[in-house]
Structure 1
Amino acid sequence: MRVLGLISGTSHDGIDCALVRWSRDGDLLTGVVEHTGTVPYPPGLRAAIVAALPPNPADMGEVCRLDTLVGRAFAEAAATCPAADLVCSHGQTMYHWVEDGRVRGTLQLGQPAWIAERLGVPVVSDLRVRDVAAGGQGAPLVSAFDLPLLSGLPASAGRAGALNLGGIANLTVCEPPLAYDIGPASALMDAAVRAATGMPYDEDGRLAASGKVHEGLLAELLAEPYYHLPPPKTTGKELFHAGYLDRVAGPYALGLPDLVATLTALTAETVAAEIRRHGLGTVVVSGGGVRNPALMRALRERAEGVRLLPSDDLGVPSDAKEAVAFSYLGWLTAHGLPGTVPACTGAAGSRVLGTITPGRGPLRLPEPLDLPPRSIRMEGRGAARRTSPLS
């Protein structure tokens, strides 16, 4: 079954696409990555998304318009990909409602009917809310993909984890399973660069590399209460946004290079602290942060002795890891299988995720399966380096 995974993450800069052909043989599920890509949002739509994000106000008319415009953008992105049997669309997270450490609700926009109408195939969408309704955090859902993927690592890898460095950093840990959002990866860095230059991010980590870490500001940033909450926990732009950065960093009046260097150190230190806390020997890293040399250098220094592998070494393109994961979640839903790990999200039990919007013809789904696969092997782009991922 070919499943197209679509997602726009907390950086809200575009739509990541991954078409994966899934085939099962007993406990092993093989995924062949046949296509990946990113389709940038039109500038006007991206500006509208940013304007509607916390702490900015947004009325119901704007929510309606964004639901349609994001849905149409996802449909256009899907149309640039090879044909699929099923689409799994995460949409664009606009708000994650958290009170007293508990997730009360979550909102992803991007009406799936536009995708179903354009492609004519069924669409799985709105995946997070079922986990929230079951008492979970609604994230990180990618843990359901991480755990069977990491199961193929050799014993010499030690305790393994998977780290995604997008707008928010999230971590999945094996044996026993655990997953949660650590805190900002690029969210605050991007906010600083955008406010000062209008550019979306610190390209190649150049600003961070040219600046100096301000230890006083770093200590104040590290005092954020969220970092000290026990998992499972989730966060997003509703906490780590430009207003937060202005409130905490504004009084220091740092130049942009020093500010970005300090924010890069914040990400590296919060992530490394969790890696150390769980005694991880190998961490598989994905997301845009993999392409930031300053961030990866700082992380290696703080997580000394830990093997950091790009997810490409396991056959999963690091820029498209979450889109690949949502392709897998769509495959699970189509087969009547749960897409959550209760120990990772905090839900009362495993749940089949999402709603299904039919395509043009009658809705036909595969025969239901009894159990999810225990192991995932990825092939396709990046697979050539997968033969010895620990070399």
Structure 2
Amino acid sequence: MTDNDGSTRVIGLMSGTSYDAIDVAAAEFTADGDTLLLRPLGALSIPYEPATRDAIAAVLPPAPTTIEAVCRLTTDLGHTYAGAAGRALAELCGGTADLVCSHGQTVYHWVSDGRALGTLQLGQPAWLAAATGLPVVSDVRSADVAAGGQGAPLVPAFDALLLAPDPGGPRRAALNLGGIANITVLSDDTVLGYDTGPANALVDVACARWFGEPYDDGGRHAAAGTVLPDLLAALLAEPYYAAPAPKSTGKELFHPEYLDGFLSGDERGADVVATLTELTARTVADQLRAHRIAEVVAAGGGLRNPVLTARIAELAGCRLDSIDRYGIDPDAKEAYAFALLGWLTWHGLPGALPSVTGASRAAVLGSVTPGTAALRLPEPAAMPSRLRIVR
């Protein structure tokens, strides 16, 4: 259902490749002609319990696992997401919302010869529907894969609506620095988007191994280290970086054992972190330069690493700003993006962009799990051409 004023309240849940926390955002959407108005209701970041993080790590490739472990984890995550959605419903929405869109936790993204063949996100949506009473949109990537797409990235649909370029304005791109880095290139005639490679994924591995820390807080280890030229050159030879778009990747490629294959064991931790930070900066900046980007609007945890952001801007020769200048919390951008994808699905509209994912058609994303009330979807809406943040 929607409110009498035509607005729809959606709770978006996102857990990324760093799997450190659940990012939750609540938004109220209202169609105004060809513009969709988004009123942020607030955001939460809810850390995973250590046991849940360990369980996620235990099923990620190349670790062996069992169907029992997968069943237990998807159930545990379902309960965990139900608790997060319940908090958002009470704390951000005043007890009233229309639906939840849950990304789930990606544990495998099956890509062979550059083509996505399948994708698996865990977190049983029935537990969210039972706990909140709300319908739940989930499994948002598979429909695009079934249409021949990569199933990723999906956030460009949000970027394209919010950051649509002004005629004659600077060439603009959106950048997300999570576990994996991805860019959205915005131009007058098309939208491109793809994963450039690791953002924090390998840096986090090195910080955990050498310093017992989950990430490089403020870039201090990178600042204390020296880039190792031979290690950097070996890392940059990874074929993924030279592969053409559309393309997507994740921790099925950039995992701890992958990093081990490049290390001798004699390196200093700070030097490894500095080298991996430079790897991220180089691979991101190479793509920004290739598209002649003048202005970057960034989000994600990597935005809090000034060593990384300054190096990207320097190498790419561009201005790098935070998405908070548009009224969106940079740590909650993806959660707001998945709230938008939930709204699109709820109104019968596609959420994936074929120019980004390589799909043969624009697919309506996800499956809908009914809540406690009878499921009644609204009439299909017209596709908005712009997204505007309102207070």
Q: What are the Cα deviations for residues 55-108 of structure 1, in whole angstroms up to 9, with x where unaligned? A: 101110000001100111100111111332110000000000111111110000
- 1:321 and 1:188 mapped to 2: Cα distance? 22
Normalising by structure 1, we get a TM-score of: 0.94
Equivalent position amino acid for 1:193 in 2: C
1:192 maps to which residue? 206
Matched, 1:44 2:51: yes
Cα distance in 2, alignment partners of residues 35 and 85 from structure 1: 16
Matched, 1:18 2:25: yes
What is the aligned partner in structure 1 of residue 41 from structure 2? 34
Q: Does residue 81 of structure 2 align to residue 67 of structure 1? A: no
Structure 1: how far apart are the matches of 2:266 and 2:386? 50
Paired residue for 1:226?
240
Residues 5, 17 of structure 1: 8 Å contact kept: yes
When the two chains are superposed, the root-mean-square deviation of aligned CA atoms in Å is 1.1
Aligned residue for 2:134?
121
Instruction: In structure 2, give the amino acid aligned to 1:72.
Output: H
Q: Aligned to 2:171, which of 159, 169, 178?
A: 159
TM-aligned CA deviation for residue 208 of structure 1: 0.4
Shift of 1:156: 5.7
Q: Secondary structure at the match of 2:64?
A: coil
Please state how far the C-alpha of 1:293 moved relative to its aligned partner.
Answer: 1.2
Any residues of structure 2 matched to 1:206-221 within 5 Å, and which? 206-221=220-235
- Once the two structures are TM-superposed, the CA of residue 198 in structure 1 deviates from its matched residue by 2.7
How far apart are the structure 2 equivalents of 1:273 and 1:309?
18
Gaps of 5+ in 1: 381-391
When residues 208 and 157 of structure 1 are mapped into structure 2, their CA distance, relative to the original with a 3 A threshold, is farther
Report the CA distance between 1:52 and its aligned residue: 1.2
How is 1:270-281 mapped onto 2 (pairs within 5 angstroms)? Answer: 270-281=283-294
Q: Using the TM superposition, give the Cα deviation of residue 197 of structure 1 relative to its aligned residue in structure 2, in angstroms.
A: 2.9
Partner residue in 1 for 2:271: 258
Q: Which runs of 5+ in 2 are unaligned?
A: 1-7
Distance 1:231 1:278 in 2: 12
Alignment match of 2:261 (pick from 231, 247, 250): 247
| Post-superposition CA distance 1:136-163 (Å, at most 9, x none) | 0000011111111111x54464111111
Task: After TM superposition, give the deviation of residue 296 of structure 1 in Å.
Answer: 1.0
Report how many aligned residue pairs link the two structures. Answer: 376
Aligned to 1:148: 161
Aligned partner (choices 104, 123, 126) of residue 117 of structure 2? 104
What is the aligned counterpart of 2:352 among 321, 332, 340?
Answer: 340
Residue 80 (structure 1) aligns with? 87
Task: Please tell me whether the aligned partners of residues 138 and 345 of structure 1 are also in contact (alpha carbons under 8 angstroms).
Answer: yes
* Equivalent residue, structure 1, for 2:390: 379
| Distance in 2 separating the partners of 1:131 and 1:52 | 24
> Is this contact kept in 1: 2:288–2:316, CA < 8 A?
yes
Q: Give the aligned residue type for 1:234.
A: S
Q: Partner residue of 1:384? A: none
| Greater CA drift, 64-73 or 189-198 | 189-198
Residue 252 of structure 1 and its aligned partner are, at CA, apart by 6.2
Amino acid corresponding to residue 207 of structure 2 in structure 1: V
Q: 1:182 is matched with which residue?
A: 196
Q: Which residue of 2 aligns with 1:385?
A: none
User: Are 1:93 and 2:100 matched, yes or no?
Assistant: no
Shift in alpha-carbon separation, 1:278–1:18, aligned structure 2, 3 A: same
Secondary structure of the structure 2 residue equivalent to 1:57: coil
Aligned to 2:325: 313
Q: Deviations over 1:28-78 (max 9, x none)?
A: 011011110111111111111111111101110000001100111100111
Equivalent pair of 2:309/2:320 in contact (CA under 8 Å): no
Contact 1:157 1:281 in 2 (8 A): no
| Normalised TM-score (structure 2) | 0.94
Cross-structure match for 2:4 = none
Find the residue that maps to 1:218 and give its secondary structure.
helix
Tell me whether 1:138 sits opposite 2:151 in the alignment: yes
Return the match for 1:169 from 181, 196, 206.
181
Partner of 2:130, secondary structure, is helix
